[in-house]
Structure 1
Amino acid sequence: MERTKWIDIRGNHDAFNIISLDSINNYYRKYSANQKVGSFHYVHQTAFGNYSFICVDATLTPGPKRPYNFFGILNQTHMDLLNSFRAESLRSNQSIWFGHYTTSTIVSPAPGVRDMMRAAVAYLCGHLHTLGGLMPVLHSRHPRGTLELELGDWMDNRRFRVVAFDHDLLSFSDLQFEQWPAVLVTNPKDAQYVHPGVEPLGRIPKSTHIRILAFSEAPITAVHVSVDGEALGKAHCAGGPLYVLLWDPFVYLTGLHRITVKVEDSAGRSAVREQHFTLEDALTPSFGFVQSFILLTDHYILGRVLFISTVLLNMGVLLAFRFHQLPNEDERSGLGCFPGLTSSVLMSLHLISKTNTFYYSLMLFNLFTAFGPWFIGELIDGHSGACFSFGVFIDGHFLEGSLTYVVGVIQLLFFNIPLTSYLCWSLLHRHRHNSSFRSHFVRSGCHWRLLGVHLLMLLLLTWQAHSCYFLLETYGLMAFFLSPVRTWAFGLSLLLIRHAWTGLFPFPPDHGKRAVSL
């Protein structure tokens, strides 16, 4: 710390099970170099100008246990503070914003955190841990031009990044620990990462040298440079890690070109850095769709829309068939115009929605899933709270819903809707054969298709049981017993399945139109 300026910030791992910043479990207050809480603005001063670094601290306080602090939250007061930092940074040569969370995992009021950082050349972040190795590179560009550059974690993947400003043009290289040499080409700048609205790109065609930063544990022995496959020669050291080579940029005024740099050190190791550059703004390459979807989509909004849509679909179908008359004999014969599967589905929905026990039980279950509470327990050790789809209450604090919507969608798709479908299927079989669970297998000859349906439901019940166990292990005994959407729902599902196969059959042969209590 005597030689280096350290700027560190909290992430969600620093806030697991933390009730306040004064908590004895808040290790950040002791082990951080910066020891600042909340967002801040650091101005790095040099002889040739100032450079702003704006920290976006979206970490939750209080911080619940896993998994409900995966998303960060910025309230309006916090956004106003960031806006003041943005205004201050306009006096700097360039500004970089940085934070732990990607902007896609930050909940913020309109116009949103991306618009707030519109004057910055880049936003540096982490959080996604390469998505388990599926996305080792996650970079994209905001609608206003700011680059969002996610970096894989240090803990498991040993990733780090070298960033440089060369005549106020940003360049960077994502590297892996102990892989030498490390190479960064600062001029000409990589065409994919230009920001025409902020960077002075006109300095590239006026430059006299190709400039490269090269690092290694062993002395650098050679830096070879070629453009479009044509060797230009060896760059020479201009002091420290900087290597330069004379060039004529007017040769490359049009089109997209490729620069290749090969660095060798005295230990016999070598590294090759290749990137495209252009002196035309219109030729900036775009980023991939998957990268942009992950980084630029407000996933909490997407989760909210999917959750509300799934709840309305699940409950709306039951409501619609509840108040639609069960078809009589003549109408049922008319169902023959539908394919066999369609008519079976329609009849099964009539059966379940007009049986009071199933209808009211499923509606109540889905209402609890939509409006909660899902469970009440110790979301932080020693501090009780309640979890709803729309957010989490902890010790007088409210944390806006984010990952809760995603968890709700998973609950609906992998239990609520499959349970309703299984009950429909069970009632339809009893309606057709007037059989119990045991006679159902005897009459059907225990076909593998039927057995597969039962096994699938058993698998989903096992998943729900594991969710109950997770509640017990994570949030304590209170959460286990006070959980309508997990523990109570598991018991309810067993009762409903039992009623579907062994209870008195609700519909006589004449298929009465009134709702019947089972």
Structure 2
Amino acid sequence: MLKLAVGLLTAAAVALLLDSYGPSEAPSAVGQHRRPRAPQPAPGAEASNLLWVVQVSDIHISRFQDPQRASDLEKFCSETIDIIQPALVIATGDLTDAKTRDKLGSEQVEVEWKTYQLVLKRSRVMEKTKWIDIKGNHDSFNIPHLDSVQNYYRKYSAWRKDGSFHYIHTTSFGNYSFICMDATLSPGPKRPFNFFGILNTNQMKELSLMAAESLHSNHTIWFGHFPTSTIISPAPGIRTLMSSATAYLCGHLHTMGGLMPALHSQHRGGTLELELGDWKDNRRYRILVFDHDLLSFADLNFEEWPVVLITNPKSFLYSSPAHEPLVKILYSTHIRILAFSPSVITSVEVYIDGVHLGNAHPVSGPLYALKWSPENYSEGFHHIDVTVQDASGRISKRGHRFAMEENLSRRFGFLPSVILLTDYYVLARVLFGLIVLIQIALLVIFRYLQKPALKEKPGLLTLTSYSLHIFSKTNTFYYSILVLNLYTILGPWFVGELIDGHVGACFSFGVFVGGSFFQGSLTFVVGILQMLFFNLPLMAYLCWCLFLRCQGHGFRSHFWHIRRLVAALVHLAMALLLAWQIYSCYFLQRTYGTLAFFLSPMRTWLVVLTSALIYKTWTLKSSELRTYIVEMKNCQSS
């Protein structure tokens, strides 16, 4: 019966998770106010109603690392942009690296910004297209206020304006809104405590007005540096605010170090959230296309040619009935493909469901078209594949599933959806609170719970419980660990220069610096790591040491009376955790200065406290443990 109940609960939890991360196709309340979508004009053989833009993110131009980033970016701006000829280029933050040579400290490095500006000037990219570059968290490191001379973004970027804004791109076939959401912190603390973006109430009101203005456009694209999962925002929340947008473009996560090469998902209102891989290590960029107001995109690698995008029929997975006139696919007369290459395109072969339909013919510029009969594919899913070859013999293939029926099920990958759609600051806050509560509850419960009598040959669970009784009923250790856990929640972890020349304090619930308070986000993650990998193991280690003392062993003798390998592994584990804590002290000094090193109860002081507690376990007078020693001897002799 118990197994059945557990199974049902597990199934319910999984179903709830899957439902939470599966997008709803109901149109948003905001999105319903857009003008109605007519089936005509539909995609045909003419080079009309086409708009494409390019996105690049996380460039990280560095004074100390990989100079090829800048030279490749210049080549991208001078050659790739010449070939693609986008109407707009959006650079979504982290234009510079802003790290010290040892990668521990962070500061704005003017030479990095000068290098970035030089790339834009030498490539003359701003004369060829509209270049919009926004700040990321690295571009905000160590900046006391927006008017500071350290805010090199204002001096060296192309856009040069802080804050969110609404850019409208006008074409002969309508307007397209691009709303920048600036969630970077001001003042900007040093790394790592600006990993999350924050929007305040005034910023949300400003963005709400921009969203309302954009309803008159054919489409709205939001863009910013942070994924919505790493943005703290007041009610109704940033995802609700951008629900009238067709897509949100972002970066920041570097595709989780390459582990998730396609970090894409969809909000419940139908807005696509598309994280782009970084330029820094992977040289990634994106082309986003509106073809008769149908959105398509491709995430690409620098210098991989030819580039291919199938714009009609568009991918079913990345479609949104709430924002796009999907009926136009059914009314279209031609399959449409964009193909870019430094060399002449020699062939564009089209296949549907494995059947060769023919070669698409060039229309104008990068557009290729092939006549088709969409009614032949009006039911169920189908797969389109396109193979493009250029005069240099290079071949590229691209394909996707499409469908004419809007009510078919679509679902993004579970892991990308979890990464992009989870509010991590809420999750981290809850987990941190639970972990601290559990450890404090253990201490208090065993403090006042009556100690059980040891019977002959007690099991592991009984001995573990007994060691917790010993620990909790020994004042020195009980109060030390209780205060440590309470301090982890309430006390300042350290006080130091979170911004050069500006002393601040870091707590679990947030950071005070420069007259501002930033509510906790990454601090809770650090707190979870502190609890799981130090506070809890420290308590377990001290319990184990005290238990050995009650068995009559000293520090030297216990190696000879218990399994040496077990003892060595336990001590090694604690030594490694203590070494990690000591390294954290070094990291603190390198990141926030000498003051932070000395005024750090949760780092430097804790190393001293830990050493003292470990020493105390082996030097504690036997008289303080007499009751437990006698009981252990009686148990062993029986």
TM-score, length-scaled by structure 1 = 0.95
* Mapped pair 1:408 → 2:527: yes
Structure 1 match to 2:483:
364
* Mapped pair 1:465 → 2:587: no
Structure 2 match to 1:299:
424
After superposition, give the CA deviation of every residue in 1:236-285 in whole Å (9 maximum; x if it has no partner): 11111111111110000001011111111111111001111100112243
Structure 2 match to 1:516:
none
**2-structure distance, mates of 1:484, 1:319:** 23
- Structure 1 letter corresponding to 2:209: S
Q: 1:438 aligns with which of 520, 541, 556?
A: 556
SS of 2:330's equivalent?
A: coil
Structure 1 match to 2:242:
117
**2-structure distance, mates of 1:291, 1:31:** 34
Q: 1:153 aligns with which of 248, 255, 278?
A: 278
SS of 2:495's equivalent?
A: strand
The answer to whether the Cα contact below 8 Å between 2:470 and 2:628 also exists between their aligned partners in 1 is no
- Structure 1 letter corresponding to 2:507: F
How far is 1:347 from its partner? Answer: 0.8
SS of 2:234's equivalent?
A: coil
**1-structure distance, mates of 2:409, 2:173:** 28
Structure 2 match to 1:455:
572
Residue correspondence of structure 1 range 116-515 to structure 2 within 5 A = 116-327=241-452, 331-333=453-455, 340-432=459-551, 434-444=552-562, 447-505=564-622, 506-509=624-627
Q: Which has the higher contact order (CA 8 A, sep 6+)?
A: 2
After superposition, the Cα gap between the structure-2 partners of 1:305 and 1:52, relative to the gap in structure 1 and judged at 3 Å, is same
**2-structure distance, mates of 1:490, 1:139:** 42
**2-structure distance, mates of 1:463, 1:264:** 54
Identity %: 60
Q: 1:84 aligns with which of 209, 221, 244?
A: 209
How far is 1:326 from its partner? Answer: 2.8
- Structure 2 letter corresponding to 1:431: C
After superposition, the Cα gap between the structure-2 partners of 1:209 and 1:289, relative to the gap in structure 1 and judged at 3 Å, is same
- Structure 2 letter corresponding to 1:263: V
SS of 1:204's equivalent?
A: helix
TM-score, length-scaled by structure 2 = 0.78
After superposition, give the CA deviation of every residue in 1:297-332 in whole Å (9 maximum; x if it has no partner): 0111111111000000111110111122333xxx33
Structure 1, unpaired ranges of 5+: 514-518
After superposition, give the CA deviation of every residue in 1:190-215 in whole Å (9 maximum; x if it has no partner): 01000011111111100011111110
**1-structure distance, mates of 2:195, 2:594:** 24
How far is 1:31 from its partner? Answer: 2.0
How far is 1:511 from its partner? Answer: 7.1
After superposition, the Cα gap between the structure-2 partners of 1:307 and 1:512, relative to the gap in structure 1 and judged at 3 Å, is farther
**2-structure distance, mates of 1:161, 1:2:** 20
* More off after superposition, 391-400 vs 317-326: 317-326
**2-structure distance, mates of 1:242, 1:153:** 28
- Structure 2 letter corresponding to 1:455: L
How far is 1:110 from its partner? Answer: 1.7
Q: CA RMSD in A?
A: 1.4
Structure 2, unpaired ranges of 5+: 1-125, 632-638
**1-structure distance, mates of 2:399, 2:611:** 61
How far is 1:63 from its partner? Answer: 1.1
The answer to whether the Cα contact below 8 Å between 2:289 and 2:297 also exists between their aligned partners in 1 is yes
- Structure 2 letter corresponding to 1:374: W
How far is 1:509 from its partner? Answer: 3.5
**2-structure distance, mates of 1:502, 1:231:** 83
How far is 1:296 from its partner? Answer: 0.4
How far is 1:166 from its partner? Answer: 0.8
How far is 1:504 from its partner? Answer: 1.0
How far is 1:372 from its partner? Answer: 1.9
SS of 2:168's equivalent?
A: strand
**2-structure distance, mates of 1:222, 1:36:** 44
- Structure 1 letter corresponding to 2:217: S
The answer to whether the Cα contact below 8 Å between 1:326 and 1:511 also exists between their aligned partners in 2 is no
The answer to whether the Cα contact below 8 Å between 1:191 and 1:276 also exists between their aligned partners in 2 is yes
